[in-house]
Every structure is written in C-alpha cells, then in structure tokens.
C-alpha cells in the first residue's frame, strides 16, 4: 500500500499488471494511486484505507470480479461505500448490456480500454472534485444534514431524505387520517442514453428533469431523486384526478425539452406509476413504494411515456365521478359506490349514445338506438322522481 501523501487517493483495480501500471503512470503525477489485482484485494484495501476517494475497476477478474466489488460497495451499510465514485474499465468486447448492468448496480461512469490518457485524467479529475465537494459538505453538522437531504446534481431531495420524510408523512397520515399519493418516475432508456452519450450529457438530462419537477410540484409535496434516473414523490392531500393531471403535465413538459447531442436533438420521455394507498398500521413507506413500482413497470412495459395510476381507497366520494373513473372502478371490482352514481353517469353517457345511435347505419349498431331510448326514459323517470311533490291544500 502506498504511503500517505497529500495527493487525492485513487484505487486502480485490474488483474492485468500492465494495465495497473499504465493507470499509475498516467495518474501518478497528480494522484496517489493504490493498486489491487482483483476485487477481493480491492475490498480489503477499501475497508482499511479511509482516504481512497475514487475507484477505477475492471469487470473481468478472478476471485471477485468488478460486478461483485461494486455490489459489495453499494450494499454496504457504510455511507462512504454507497456514495464513492466507481468508474468501470470496459473492454472492446463489453457490450451495452454489460454496461447497463453495471449502471443498474450503481456504477458512476465508464472508460474504455485501451484508454486515452487525456480521458483518464479527465475522469479522475471530475470524480475527485465531486467526492471532495461532498466531503466538504460533511465537515460541519449543518452541512452533513444538507448532504443527507439534498441531491447536489438536481437540487431535489436525496435518497435518504425521501425515506425519512416518507415515514414521517406516513406517521402523520395514521395519526390525523390524512392521505397522500405515491408517485414513481423513471427516465425511459436512460442507461442507453448514458452509454451512447456519456456522463456529462446524462447529467444535463438529470439537472433539467429536476428543474421541471421543481417547477410543477407544489411546495407541500415531496420530490426526490432516489436513484440514477429514478425519482420519487409524495403528493399530499391530492385527489386522483389532480394526480393524473400532474403526471400528464410532467410527461409533456419533460418531453418538450430539447437536448443537443452532436448534430441531433434528443427529446427524452418518462414513465410514471402512481398509487393512492390504503394506509394501515402495517404500512411502511418501503412497501407503498414497492407497490407503486408495479404500476411504473406497467407504464414501462406499455412502451414508456405513459402514466399508470391505481387507487386502493374505498371512499371515492371526494373523487369527481366521470366515465373514466367509473370504468376504473369496474376494472377494480369496486362497484358499490357506482350504484349511487347511476343517474349522473347516465346523463354523461346519453349525449354520446344519442350521437352514435343517430349515425348508426350498421345493423350491429342498431341496438344502440334502443339503448338510447331506454336511457332517455330512465333519465326522465329519475328526473321526475327528484322533483319535490307539490303540497296539496
């Protein structure tokens, strides 16, 4: 292990001695480079050397490969391993699927072997600067609290803030009978965009997405970046219709932003899942978010750029009853409340059925004319029943 110096310390992990020495030769002037020949060796060094700020690691290695090392770091209970920048060294044979897997596991960046010395220095400088900025924020108790709650890139709440504030909102809802909607949003195909365009371009997308969220979400709501391109929100005292409108506005506003990529303009899309939960004593914010993930996944599977919303509440009295809401309740098998809404639903349906029946030329549509007449008679009967009876002298 290298003797301690005033230089920022980097860990270079590769089973090729030639590759390790190449990194040391390029970076050694500005950084204190510590070498490890496999993931197990690297993990031992990391756990004993608290001065390491950035890790550069190969993927294919004996004993413990780069994926295993990355997994140990991100699964660790130590915050420094969860947040430490990890730059993956990829070979020419590593495909986009391999890179996407590394991103999903928490990789910070990529550089391809054989690497260009200028690019290697640039990557080192970028991630050392980010790590040093985070470390400075930890030097006082107030700044430590800020680090725990704010995502520096987007200015939104951070991952720890989301879980902490989520549990507080859940406790408040249990005590006071409040309600909220959980929203989960992912940027569609973000890993592919990252791999094709690089970290700086990907960061621009994240910053702009954060700006749109800040613009559209109310102050009383909670919004956070909880993963690489993953966002979570808690919408307080919001009904289903308002939540759906917000989801639609988010997809439209984010898609309207132009990102220049070379000579091309890229417009991104997002997928959104929302859940209006039934809150019980057994509810946890983790379980509610996990349930919301199901509807996010449905939006993704539908092709992305979608909003999928689900309500588990039974008190639909505060929800404006319209045809789309009625169809959702029928799909969920919750028709008890609908029985009290037959007349307003009939009045909404009647103009549409009247139009269709009036233009029905196909024999298959002829029964609609009879349904139109029957609905008209039913509405007339119900309207007559609603009139107050005149008092007789």
pLDDT for residue 351 is more than 80: no
Query: Do residues 254 and 217 both lie within one domain?
Result: yes
* Of the listed ranges 145-159, 185-199, 244-258, the one predicted with least confidence: 145-159
In this prediction, residues 132-159 reach a mean pLDDT of 64
Average pLDDT of every residue of the chain: 83
Residue ending a domain, choose from 250, 280, 313: 313
Domain containing 255 equals 147-313
Residue 178 domain flag: yes
Number of residues in the chain: 393
The domain total for the chain is 3
Q: What is the per-residue pLDDT for 312?
A: 81
CATH code, 101 = 3.40.50.2300
State how far the Cα of 60 lies from the Cα of 38, in Å rounded to an integer: 9
Whether the predicted model's global pTM rises above the 0.95 cut: no
Query: Do residues 127 and 210 both lie within one domain?
Result: no
Query: Do residues 23 and 114 both lie within one domain?
Result: yes
Residue 2 domain flag: no
- CA-to-CA dists, residue 379 to 41, 366, 371, 372, 383, angstroms: 79, 21, 12, 11, 6
Query: Do residues 275 and 186 both lie within one domain?
Result: yes
Query: Do residues 111 and 158 both lie within one domain?
Result: no
Residue 183 domain flag: yes
Residue 232 domain flag: yes
Cβ atoms within 10 A of the Cβ of 294, count? 13
Q: What is the per-residue pLDDT for 321?
A: 64
Query: Do residues 358 and 288 both lie within one domain?
Result: no
Residue ending a domain, choose from 278, 313, 348: 313
Query: Do residues 344 and 250 both lie within one domain?
Result: no
Residue 323 domain flag: no
Query: Do residues 155 and 289 both lie within one domain?
Result: yes
Query: Do residues 133 and 263 both lie within one domain?
Result: no
Helical segments of the chain, H only: 17-27, 39-48, 66-75, 79-83, 96-105, 117-137, 141-149, 159-176, 190-197, 199-216, 240-255, 285-301, 323-332, 342-358, 366-386
Residue 390 domain flag: no
Q: Indicate the SS3 state at residue 59.
A: coil
Query: Do residues 157 and 133 both lie within one domain?
Result: no
Express each pLDDT in 207-238 by its tens digit.
999 999 999 988 889 999 999 999 999 998 88
- Phi, psi values for residue 328, rounded to 5°: -65, -40
Q: What is the per-residue pLDDT for 378?
A: 63
Express each pLDDT in 77-132 by its tens digit.
888 898 899 999 988 777 888 889 999 999 999 888 888 888 899 889 888 877 66
Query: Do residues 274 and 361 both lie within one domain?
Result: no
pLDDT for residue 392 is more than 50: no
CATH code, 181 = 3.30.70.270
Query: Do residues 284 and 364 both lie within one domain?
Result: no
Residue 134: HSE in the Cβ half-sphere, 13 Å Cα cutoff: 21
Residue 333 domain flag: no
Residue ending a domain, choose from 81, 108, 137: 137
State how far the Cα of 194 lies from the Cα of 88, in Å rounded to an integer: 13
Residue 70 banded pLDDT, cuts 50, 70, 90: very high
From the list 61, 26, 64, 17, the residue with the least C-alpha distance to 44 is 64
């Amino acid at each position: 292990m290298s003797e301690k110096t005033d230089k920022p310390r980097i860990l270079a992990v590769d089973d090729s001695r030639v590759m390790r020495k190449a990194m040391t030769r390029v970076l050694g002037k500005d950084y204190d480079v510590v070498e490890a020949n496999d993931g197990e060796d690297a993990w031992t060094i990391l756990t004993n050397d608290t001065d390491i700020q950035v890790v550069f690691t190969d993927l294919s290695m004996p004993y413990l490969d780069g994926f295993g090392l990355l997994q140990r770091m991100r699964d660790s209970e130590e915050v420094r391993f969860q947040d430490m920048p990890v730059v993956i060294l990829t070979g020419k044979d590593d495909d986009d699927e391999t890179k996407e897997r590394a991103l999903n596991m928490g990789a910070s960046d990529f550089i391809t072997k054989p690497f260009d010395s200028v690019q290697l220095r640039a990557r080192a400088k970028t991630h050392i600067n980010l790590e040093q900025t985070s470390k400075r924020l930890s030097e006082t108790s107030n700044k430590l609290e800020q680090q725990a709650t704010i995502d520096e890139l987007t200015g939104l709440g951070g991952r720890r803030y989301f879980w902490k504030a989520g549990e507080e909102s859940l406790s408040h809802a249990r005590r006071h009978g409040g309600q909220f909607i959980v929203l989960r949003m992912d940027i569609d195909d973000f890993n592919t965009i990252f791999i094709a365009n690089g970290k700086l371009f990907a960061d621009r997308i994240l910053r702009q997405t954060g700006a749109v969220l800040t613009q559209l979400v109310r102050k009383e709501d909670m919004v956070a970046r909880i993963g690489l391109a993953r966002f979570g929100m808690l919408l307080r005292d919001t009904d289903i219709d308002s939540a759906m409108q917000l989801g639609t506005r988010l997809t439209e506003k984010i898609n309207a932003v132009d990102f220049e990529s070379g000579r091309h303009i890229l417009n991104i899309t997002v997928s959104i899942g929302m859940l209006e939960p039934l809150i019980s004593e057994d509810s946890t914010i983790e379980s509610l978010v996990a349930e919301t993930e199901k509807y996010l996944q449905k939006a993704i599977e539908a092709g992305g750029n979608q909003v999928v919303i689900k309500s588990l509440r039974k008190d639909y009295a505060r929800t404006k009853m319209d045809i789309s809401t009625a169809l959702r309740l029928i799909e969920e098998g919750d028709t008890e409340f609908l029985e009290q809404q037959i007349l307003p639903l009939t009045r909404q349906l009647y103009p549409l059925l009247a139009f269709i029946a009036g233009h029905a030329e196909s024999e298959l549509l002829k029964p609609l004319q009879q349904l139109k007449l029957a609905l008209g008679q039913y509405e007339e009967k119900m309207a007559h029943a609603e009139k107050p009876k005149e008092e007789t002298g």
